[in-house]
A = this chain, B = another copy of it.
Amino acid sequence: MRDRSDTPDEAVAGGGLIHRRSLLVAGALSASGLGATLKAAPARNSPASMLEPGAPLSGYGEPGPAAAAIQRIVPALPFPGTGSSRTPLHLLEGTITPNGLHFERHHNGIPDLDPATHELLVHGLVRQPLSFRYEDLLRYPRESRILFLECSGNSGAIAADRPAQVSAGQLNGLLSCAEWTGVRLSTLLDEAGLDPAARWVQAEGADAAGMTRSIPLSICLDDAMIALFQNGEPLRPQQGYPLRLLLPGIEGNASVKWLRRLKVIAAPAFSREETSRYSDLLADAHAEIFSLRMGVKSIILSPSFGLDLKGAGFHEIGGLAWSGRGRIRKVEVSADGGASWAEAALTAPILPKALTRFRMPWQWSGGPAILMSRAIDETGAVQPRRADWIGKYGPGQGYHGNAIQSWRVDPLGKVSHVYA
């Protein structure tokens, strides 16, 4: 048996944060009394489940009845195909989002495309315009990557004057992460042959919004992918079947779904979705356009609004961190509203442009606490405080909301969203 005197539950910051090492050492937390009940002897009777054969095998499995409440968050909309559904992040664990719960953002509904006739055209400033059928693309070399996808408008509610009292999923659920498999875009562009004047690529979807974005050629030649599979299976219609653009680390709507056309061009097209939308008015009345890369960010999911604490003692503060620039280097957590910070444990593997789970052990005294998390990525970029984020932009900014968020825990364990 281990020597309990080694228990590394030393305080590392205010408000009861204890060293992340305690998550890794068996026994470190064993005195915490997390609810296990002393039991003198096992019950003699077998439960009913052991007395009758259970349910059969199935072809495509479904979540059980106990998970019926774990759904994407779908708002009431006048045109239900136009809008977004959010991943219930606060009810999930790990970093992979099941395909059924990956967030959706459609600008005019989900088209029903036939892979036998749908083609991807590569044209414009190329040596030879090419058209690729789905079947053709399945013969090209493939790659797989675990990548986050985040809508540029995710967490836009943090710009509001008062903190929205909504779940972490409602607030931040235009964010998901999956293993995507497809063909490197550079392979197709290289086959078409780029003209020396080529600088941008205009991507167009086959949906009824004709979703169109201009993307710098440098991004297209870096790690962009024509995605064909998501978490092992073919893309679902909600995610662009039969094929979509996938731009790692870039705001979601540029990863055009139901992709039908890539036009290589010399200057951006200035389409609606990059002028009237998806550009950022700054405090000095200038605007940032083509601010495509998503910033470094983290959110605490547990505890969070609606997931109240049931008592003092040990709790794990858990959440997600990510950056459009690469890997997460560090996540710091505060339990005293930012007065002191301690480093959280990160779950391996820490992948570039993917979600990373962080966990922080916390001995909650039962007093009021304000929980915050702050991510730092491998480029050294630090997640901004809300006041700094607000100060950068003009009124009404709803994109790139990567500021630090805060949850207040009151002495009853109730969790509310606060600006701190």
Contact = CB atoms under 8 A, between A and B. Distances in A.
A157 interface: no
A58 B144 CA distance: 27
A131 interface: yes
Interface in A59-103: 59-64, 66-67, 70-72, 74, 77, 79-85, 91-102
Contact of A100 (B60, B97, B207): B60
A39 B129 contact: yes
A63 B230 CA distance: 11
Nearest to A349: B349
A325 interface: no
Nearest to A354: B349
Contacts of A56: 80-81, 109-110
Interface stretch (A46-54, A278-286, A378-386, A404-412): A46-54
Copies of this chain present = 2
A217 interface: no
Given A101-B233, A112-B49, A315-B139, A36 B184 contact: no
Nearest to A132: B36
A108 B35 contact: no
Interface in A308-350: 314-316, 318, 347, 349
Contacts of A111: 49-50, 54-55
Question: For chain A, which range describes its interface: under 10, 10 to 19, 20 to 34, or 35 or more residues?
Answer: 35 or more
Interface string A5-30: 00000000000000000110011011
A34 B190 CA distance: 13
Interface stretch (A236-244, A264-272, A287-295, A368-376): A236-244
Given A131-B37, A187-B30, A94 B61 contact: no
Interface in A380-396: none
A95 B179 CA distance: 8
Given A34-B140, A81-B55, A144-B95, A234 B49 contact: no
A92 B57 contact: no
A231 B94 contact: yes
A353 interface: no
Contacts of A316: 139-142
A164 interface: no
B135 A40 contact: no
Among A98, A106, A314, find the residue whose CB has the most chain B CB atoms closer than 10 A.
A98
Interface string A165-203: 000000000000011110010111111011010000000
Nearest to A56: B80
A133 interface: yes
A380 to B, nearest CB: 23
Given A1-B194, A61-B236, A92 B136 contact: no
A219 interface: no
A130 interface: yes
Contacts of A104: 57-58, 61
A258 interface: yes
A39 B132 CA distance: 10
19 contacts: A1-B194, A26-B189, A26-B190, A26-B221, A37-B132, A39-B129, A46-B210, A47-B260, A50-B208, A53-B81, A59-B74, A61-B101, A62-B100, A70-B234, A91-B233, A94-B231, A96-B96, A98-B233, A139-B316
